[in-house]
Amino acid sequence: MGLDASVMCTCYQSGKASPCPYPEDFYIDEDGFPAVRLTEYEDSSKSDEFDAWLAICCPHAYMDYVTIYIENWNEYRAFVDALGQVGWEHFPTLKAQLPEENHGFTPSEAASLAVNELAYFKSQNGVSKYFLVNSETNEVVQSTSQTEEGFFNWDGRTGLRLGFDEQGFFIKDAWDLNRELFRAARVEQKQLASDELDRPDQFQFTDLDTGKQFLSSTPVRVFKRAEFGTTQEYPRQMQVELRVVDTDYFASILDPLIQIFSVSVETGNPVRWS
């Protein structure tokens, strides 16, 4: 699950949309989306008719001028941490406007200031961060944030939570007050294929310094883009490292944020978070 952002088009404002079936009841809701007012005596047919009109009333389906995926919540919150490391005094608008959940909106006036603040962040030399690193390839496996307390994965079936901090990789039990079940400064992950179709594969974690092992159905996985969708990889050996990264490291978040804020400035409509 991640964060999305969108901006409404100006077709209705400029009279370029087809006539609304209920113009007197058209309004923009608290999150910035077009909606129709319903009384307690009206059935869903009015809403259905409005939604059908909204889907085709202008060249932009549902009046969405642009919709952009920002990033998953782990990476997004790691970026917010990086802003704080540079200094929130440089980013007052971003501090006030960047969402903490999948709702809300940012006014166009604030979007203009946010673009300038993001440009300032891009001009910085870099920030220091702890990363979970693939020991064999030196690639970053996971980054996390102070908000997440080091956690990057949670299994709702077993209650296991995976994460890392300055001391290494850990597995905790969310159903037992986050009791620590396993920790290792250097860890090996091994996939154990299941012989039963209805039973998931297990993953054996080994502390490479002590030999201690822990068996889990929740792995450390890396999603990588492929020609058709994404693929999953399970790093074999990992460790935690403190690295100084250039602000380009956050390009996957910076670029869509700059784009969506710029579109907001262009249209005069707010950024809607979802």
Burial 120-152 (b: 16+ CB within 10 A, else e): ebeeeeebebbbbbbbeeeebbbbbbeebebbb
Indicate the SS3 state at residue 95.
Answer: helix
Q: State how far the Cα of 71 lies from the Cα of 58, in Å rounded to an integer.
A: 28
CA distance 152 to 220: 9
Percent of the chain with pLDDT over 70: 100
pLDDT for the residue numbered 232 = 87
pLDDT of residue 31: 86
Distance CA 193, CA 197 (A): 10
pLDDT higher than threshold 80 for residue 228: no
Q: What is the SS3 assignment for 48?
A: helix
Indicate the pLDDT class of residue 156, thresholds 50, 70 and 90: confident
The half-sphere exposure of 203 on its side-chain side, counting CA atoms within 13 A, is 18
Q: What is the pLDDT of residue 227?
A: 72
pLDDT of 172 reads 97
Query: What's the pLDDT tens digit per position in 46-103?
Result: 999 999 999 999 999 999 999 999 998 888 998 999 999 999 999 999 999 999 999 9
195 — pLDDT class (breaks 50, 70, 90): confident
pLDDT digits (tens, 9 = 90+) for 6-49: 999 999 999 999 999 999 999 999 888 999 999 877 778 999 99
What is residue 75's predicted lDDT score, i.e. its pLDDT? 86
